[in-house]
Amino acid sequence: MLSAKNVMIIGSVIVIFVILQTILILFSSKVNSPAEAAVEFTKAYFMLDGTSMTENLCSEISEGEEADIVGGYLFHAAEQARAMGFSPGYMKNQLSGVHTEINMMDQNSAKVRITGDRLRSINPVFAFVGRLFFLIETHKFDETLTLVKEDGKWRVCSKPFSLSEI
């Protein structure tokens, strides 16, 4: 049986743990490195998240002469899905085993090599069952992204993956 003193100690430890964990989460989400920005953009790219992709592109690309490059990419992905007889959501991919390597960096620019596997992300259950029974096909990706620091945030400033083909 727990005495009142033991309950107080356990309660204090839990409260301190929750406070420290909250502080850690708040400070870790504020860090913005070239590698984190590259991973964030790549996740948005393969999950067809146009809003996040646009937020992570530098102004030179997002507002340049090809102003709607993200919209063009999303349209192209939707067209590919329709040609195969699926909805656009079929083209979403989940990332696995992502590794980054910063190849060159100064204060305001960096080149980040990002590698990993992508797999079809129809829904979380499909990914789980597919991995469990080795039914899911993975595809490797290897890309070097150029990033620049704009307004204190790292952003992709090259045409990655198939954006350069659109």
Distinct helix (H) and strand (E) counts, the chain: 6, 4
- Give the tokens for residue 56: 């992570």
Residues 127 and 94 sit within 8 Å (Cβ to Cβ): yes
Higher pLDDT, 14 or 158: 14
The pLDDT of residue 166: 41
> Could you report the per-residue pLDDT of 68-99, keeping only the tens digit for each?
788 888 999 999 999 999 988 888 888 889 99
Residues 156 and 49 sit within 8 Å (Cβ to Cβ): no
pLDDT at 38 over 60: yes
Cα 2–chain centre separation: 46
> Could you report the per-residue pLDDT of 122-141, keeping only the tens digit for each?
777 776 777 778 777 888 99
3-state secondary structure of 68: coil
Distance CA 157, CA 37 (A): 11
CATH class of 32-165: alpha beta
Q: Show the DSSP H helices in the chain as ranges.
A: 4-30, 34-46, 50-55, 59-62, 69-84, 124-132
pTM of structure? 0.74
> Could you report the per-residue pLDDT of 42-78, keeping only the tens digit for each?
999 999 999 999 888 888 876 765 557 888 889 999 9
Distance CA 113, CA 72 (A): 24
The pLDDT of residue 64: 63
